[in-house]
Amino acid sequence: MVEALNARVLVVDDAPTTLEVLRRVLEGKGCSVVTAASVAQALTKLEDGVFDLVVTDLKMPGASGMELVRHVHDNLRATAVMMITGYATVEGAVEAVKRGAIEYLSKPFTNDEFVDAVLRALETARARKVVDREEETVSFQGLIGRSPAMRRLYRDVQKAAQSEATALVTGESGTGKELVARAIHYTGARSKAPFVPVNCGAIPEGLMESELFGYVKGAFTGASNSRAGFFQTADGGTIFLDEIGEMSADMQVRLLRVLQDRTVYMVGSSRPREVNVRIVAASNKDLAQLVSKGRFREDLYFRLNVLHIHLPPLRDRGDDILLLIGHFAEKFSRELGRSAPEMSSEVLESLSHYGWPGNVRELENVVQRLIVMCDGDRIDTPDLPATMRFQAAAGERVLRTLAEVEQEHVQRVLAAVGGNKTRAAEVLGIDRKTLRSKLQTPDE
């Protein structure tokens, strides 16, 4: 949750005492506060300045707070609205949310409850603004993100593109290593030549040599014609060797020779062929550890690791998650020929705090599923995959008092023993008198 520091807040209430109390509370948390005693005054204040949040009472003389909520929602998209009222009803809360209120707080409330609601509103507004500002998304050769880690990555890619040195791209699965390799290629001097991606982990070991270096006619049974390999295809351009850590020891020796001599031997031929190829390799494994375990050649590792570019995992990229959600939502909605549905603040919060073990690839798949399966114009928590729904629910349940957790456990134990209080007390390690007090019901 974001800090309230430096937030500019407009508080609207016809009660001077309430205005003063809320102003002091917010200023104590670092907010810049402006007050208004009516909706008319609030509209004037909104014309004179920009606010991050409007906190408004519902019942006021003249125009109501509901009208102010609608005005802000329709005209000031960058400003969040929070409603407070002493006349709380379910219908009122629903109506306020429909009109555009992010938070709805019933009087009376404590200072802590008020501050928590303000923080939630500011956090939700920040998240929505990030998604809405897709046109401001920092992107580079298909990579998207404005986090410090991604900005550093862009600089590293640009520097690597100015060189012909071999590059090693590392990062967890799904972080976009091939995108980085393509960015290096298409930003550099070889951009008009071929870019050839090769997944070393997907080629059977017996076919690796012929796939990489090609073969001549008659080299083996079935070789009715000569065929160029990936290195010859990439001549003048870049070859991207993904999953390089899966390459066998024998092929590592052959690749090392290519790096040293810039020549390849087609299977069945004793004549070397020169190739002018830049090599970009990638691995989601720690090659240094593989070297220490004797599973990867040290000399090859040093040959590949001239330029090292590391991709951060998605969980360490902060608001980039929201940027990517907006990007993929627009992409898949456009493919379906419809507008992107709105995602509730609860959905955005759940997606933002999910661990994303599959990184950007997993996020893209989840957003695609949400867009394809969405029946209306809004995506809410029930639309999320089960694992994310349960995680969101678990997160909400963590924020309970110790007494609430204890009471629930006592009730579960009691239910498990068929209501037998003597047995339940034994399981809980307490006597029947203590159990009765915790249940707050007379003993049967």
pLDDT digits (tens, 9 = 90+) for 167-177: 999 999 999 99
Grouping H, G, I as helix, E, B as strand and the rest as coil, residue 219 is coil
Neighbours of 85 (CB within 10 A): 20
Ramachandran area for residue 268 (φ above 0: left; ψ -120 to 50: alpha; else beta):
left
pLDDT for 172: 94
pLDDT tens column, 87-134: 655 555 556 565 567 777 887 888 888 888 888 888 877 766 655 544
CA distance 181 to 165: 13
Give me the architecture of the 315-398 domain, per CATH.
Orthogonal Bundle (1.10)
CA distance 36 to 13: 7
DSSP 307-321: EEEEPPPGGGSTTHH
Q: What are 368's two structure tokens?
A: 């695609």
Mean pLDDT value across residues 350-362: 90
- The Cα-based distances of 251 to 175, 208, 216, 258, 355 in angstroms read 26, 8, 19, 11, 36
Selection from 238-252, 387-401, 418-432 with the highest mean pLDDT:
238-252
CA distance 322 to 145: 9
CA distance 391 to 397: 10
Burial-class residue 289 by CB neighbours within 10 Å (0-12, 13-18, 19+).
exposed
pLDDT for 202: 93
Q: What are 30's two structure tokens?
A: 């670092």
Tell me if 40 sits within 8 A of 54, measured CB to CB: no
Tell me if 184 sits within 8 A of 311, measured CB to CB: no
CA distance 419 to 409: 13
CATH class of 402-439: mainly alpha
pLDDT for 398: 46
CA distance 283 to 237: 21
Whether 399 has a pLDDT exceeding 80, the answer reads no
pLDDT for 4: 45
Tell me whether the CATH fold assigned to 8-132 matches the one assigned to 402-439. Answer: no
pLDDT tens column, 55-95: 988 888 888 888 888 888 777 777 888 888 876 555 555 56
Tell me if 343 sits within 8 A of 130, measured CB to CB: no
234: enclosing H helix or E strand: none
Q: What is the domain partition of the chain in residue ranges?
A: 8-132, 140-310, 315-398, 402-439
Ramachandran area for residue 313 (φ above 0: left; ψ -120 to 50: alpha; else beta):
beta
pLDDT band of residue 142 (cuts 50, 70, 90) is confident
Tell me if 53 sits within 8 A of 7, measured CB to CB: yes
CA distance 439 to 64: 45
Tell me if 238 sits within 8 A of 195, measured CB to CB: yes
H runs (alpha helix) in 4-110:
16-28, 39-48, 65-75, 90-99
Beta bridge partners of 278: 238
Q: What are 329's two structure tokens?
A: 């939502």
Grouping H, G, I as helix, E, B as strand and the rest as coil, residue 217 is coil
CA distance 367 to 156: 29
Q: Among candidates 42, 286, 306, which has minimal Cα distance to 164?
A: 306
CA distance 390 to 380: 14
CA distance 346 to 124: 9
CA distance 294 to 309: 23
Grouping H, G, I as helix, E, B as strand and the rest as coil, residue 296 is coil
Grouping H, G, I as helix, E, B as strand and the rest as coil, residue 246 is helix
Does the domain at residues 140-310 carry the CATH identifier 3.40.50.300? yes
Question: Per mean pLDDT, which range of 129-133, 302-306, 315-319 is the poorest?
Answer: 129-133
pLDDT tens column, 190-233: 999 999 999 999 999 889 999 999 998 888 888 888 889 999 99
Mean pLDDT value across residues 273-300: 95
pLDDT tens column, 23-39: 999 888 888 899 999 98
Q: What is the residue-averaged pLDDT of the chain?
A: 84
Q: Rounded to the nearest 5°, which phi and psi values hold at 73?
A: -60, -40
Q: Rounded to the nearest 5°, which phi and psi values hold at 382?
A: -60, -20
CA distance 128 to 123: 9
pLDDT tens column, 151-166: 899 999 999 999 999 9
Mean pLDDT value across residues 355-365: 94
Whether 11 has a pLDDT exceeding 80, the answer reads yes
CA 144 to chain centre: 11
196: enclosing H helix or E strand: strand 195-199
Whether 415 has a pLDDT exceeding 80, the answer reads no
Q: Against a cut of 0.85, is the pTM above it?
A: no
The fold for domain 8-132 equals Rossmann fold (3.40.50)
